[in-house]
Structure 1
Amino acid sequence: MDQGTGGQVGTGPGAWRDPAVAAWAAQATTVVVDGHDVAVWDVPAGEGERHEPLLVVHGFPTSSFDWAHLVPRLARHRRVVLFDMLGFGLSAKPDRRYTMALQADVAEAVVATLGMARLALMTHDMGDTVGGELLARSQAGQGAVEVTRRVVTNGSIYIEMARLTDGQQMLLAQPDEPLAQGVGPELMVASLVATLAPAHGDVDMAGHGELVCHRGGDAMLTRTIRYIEERRADERRFTGAIEAHPSPLHVVWGPEDPIAVAPMADRLVAARPDATLAWVDGAGHYPMVEDPEAFLAAVTPFLES
């Protein structure tokens, strides 16, 4: 059963504190996966379709709203599809074990429902690991999609290099079961802001925090964060596929990320010498939010080449 405490529970415009969240929520459609609602955004090319579709996979603990302000630009010449993973954003937040296999199943179900078989992939944070699972399946001949090219952004590709926050370590120290009470939007927003570069500490993360807490998602953080344990146990499956999948790879990184530190990007490119690397100077963990114009400048030439 979905949790019902800790955040907004309505989905109409009047239920949201942040008008941008209300506008984003109004554009969502729903795909049912394993009996649960998954929020999906299927955005057609605005100025003529010239490139393969782009699938965007968000990270922990936020949602596809991280990309909302970029979607019109990303979708100028291609279809763009985003979805909130189970346990996140506008999707259902059931009390269950969350695994990378589950989230990859969700991604494949969304893609199949929309009739997509060949696509570009852009991932962030935990989404990098979900992308790694999709790529591992593809390499094993078990994947449902053909990935033509991919952009990997700030995420703990090499978990032993990650500098987990006190909050992340606190959540991991708890049992894999819902909290009796969610952390609440104020603490959630403060935690997100702490991952930004100091110069971007005034970026408004209220809407992102509101979506974490929606449908009691803040009480489920002790369950959804278990991807870190799975990444530790199966890193070579996920990171190995990110390194080895034959599709062209572009790494875009905020170098002031306090968690997924800049040397991770260097290490990934060293493991994949034909990959390209672009820094979003002065950005931290959320470069697409902190400096949208610089982020677009870093990804657009690769995606449209």
Structure 2
Amino acid sequence: MRIAEIPLSVWRKRGHELVFRGQTIRYWVAGQGEPLLLIHGFPTASWDWNYLWQPLAQRYRVIACDMLGFGDSAKPRDHKYSLVEQADLQQALLAHLQIDQPVHVLAHDYGDSVAQELLARHCEQTFELASCVFLNGGLFPETHRALFIQKLLLSPVGWMIGRVFDRASLDKDFSRIFGVDTRPSESELDDFWSLIAANSGPRILHRLINYIPERIQQRERWVSAMQQNQVPLKLINGAADPVSGSHMVQRYSELIPNPDTVLLHGIGRYPHTEAPVLLLRHYSAFRASLGACRELVAAS
């Protein structure tokens, strides 16, 4: 089985616009059924989900946006970017779409942290989360192994690094985080770069990277929410990711009660583009298990 790509040019034409706190946000929605919110990672955008978009839209109402500072959304230069604000954006998007039922979340990388914030809000009864599946991301700051480029962006010269970051830089850094046999094609790299470069994106990379210290600040609240076991959780992780690979799964298993994890050998940081068929199989099995649980509860 092979899943067809949605070309970036087509993807862009299907987008819609939402104004969030004075900034224009691009978003996408398709399908019918239970709402499924897809939250992308750093430094890319919601087009990351393009392989899974149509298969998931056959079963669910899928929703995604380019978060503030990413992709084709606004990228204000002097903005103080925050994971907490990105969670506010996700809630604003759901409100805009008049979704008033519990939401399932599938998140990746930076989006994992946004999902952790939504999970904390669920525990605080300010958001309704139905389930959450994490893909490679820094769920626990103590096991996150930042790339050299990330460390540079966090340094006092980070603003300079963003100015010289280009297509060749992206190629160099991405080659380190994908599986040996699943690296993106030149065409895919061109598209990733197009989304990063849109609206002078490289000039704000040093501002977006502040999500790394913010994860440390929020760590206890977010991990506590994961440990409360109020929402079905699953971790599907590419083992070959040097930043948050197999070592992240091990830490997850140590900290989270009854951990539900899958380790994808030979796959790197982007399972949804490197192995979309395999990921879809694991995600579908997870959702089927939730349905079986509901049926069991109803019958008892």
TM-score by length of 1: 0.86
**Structure 2 residue 243 is matched with structure 1 residue 243:** no
Q: Please, which runs of 5 or more residues in structure 1 have no aligned partner?
A: 1-17
Counterpart of 2:72 in structure 1 is 90
Query: How many Å separate the matches in 2 of 1:180 and 1:291?
Result: 30
Moved >4 Å (runs of 4+): 175-180
Give 1:173's aligned amino acid. S
Cα pair 1:150 1:249 within 8 Å, conserved: yes
Query: How many Å separate the matches in 1 of 2:51 and 2:164?
Result: 27
**Structure 2 residue 244 is matched with structure 1 residue 260:** yes
Query: How many Å separate the matches in 1 of 2:288 and 2:156?
Result: 44
1:32-111 alignment runs, 5 A limit: 32-45=19-32, 49=33, 52-95=34-77, 96-111=79-94
**Structure 2 residue 13 is matched with structure 1 residue 26:** yes
Counterpart of 2:98 in structure 1 is 115
Counterpart of 1:225 in structure 2 is 209
Please provide the CA RMSD for this pair. 2.0
Give the number of aligned pairs.
281
Cα pair 2:237 2:245 within 8 Å, conserved: no
Query: How many Å separate the matches in 1 of 2:158 and 2:118?
Result: 25
Change in CA separation of 1:199 and 1:243 when aligned onto 2, cut-off 3 Å: farther
Counterpart of 1:184 in structure 2 is 166
Moved more, 87-96 or 291-300: 291-300
Query: How many Å separate the matches in 2 of 1:74 and 1:270?
Result: 31
Deviation string for 1:67-114 (max 9, x for gaps)?
Answer: 112100111111000111100011100120101111111111001101
Counterpart of 1:130 in structure 2 is 114
Give 1:172's aligned amino acid. L
Change in CA separation of 1:140 and 1:179 when aligned onto 2, cut-off 3 Å: same
1:127-166 alignment runs, 5 A limit: 127-143=111-127, 146-166=128-148
Q: Please, which runs of 5 or more residues in structure 2 have no aligned partner?
A: 290-300
Moved more, 92-101 or 188-197: 188-197
TM-score by length of 2: 0.88
More relative contact order in 1 or in 2 (CA 8 Å, sep 6+)? Answer: 1
Query: How many Å separate the matches in 1 of 2:72 and 2:10?
Result: 13
Bigger fraction of residues in helix: 2
Question: Percent identity of the aligned residues?
Answer: 30
Give 1:228's aligned amino acid. I
Shift of 1:177: 5.6
Deviation string for 1:31-90 (max 9, x for gaps)?
Answer: 110000111111113xxx3xx210011111111111112100111111000111100011
Change in CA separation of 1:92 and 1:137 when aligned onto 2, cut-off 3 Å: same
Instruction: Name the SS of the counterpart of 1:81 in structure 2.
Output: strand
Give 1:83's aligned amino acid. C
Return the match for 1:280 from 256, 261, 264. 264
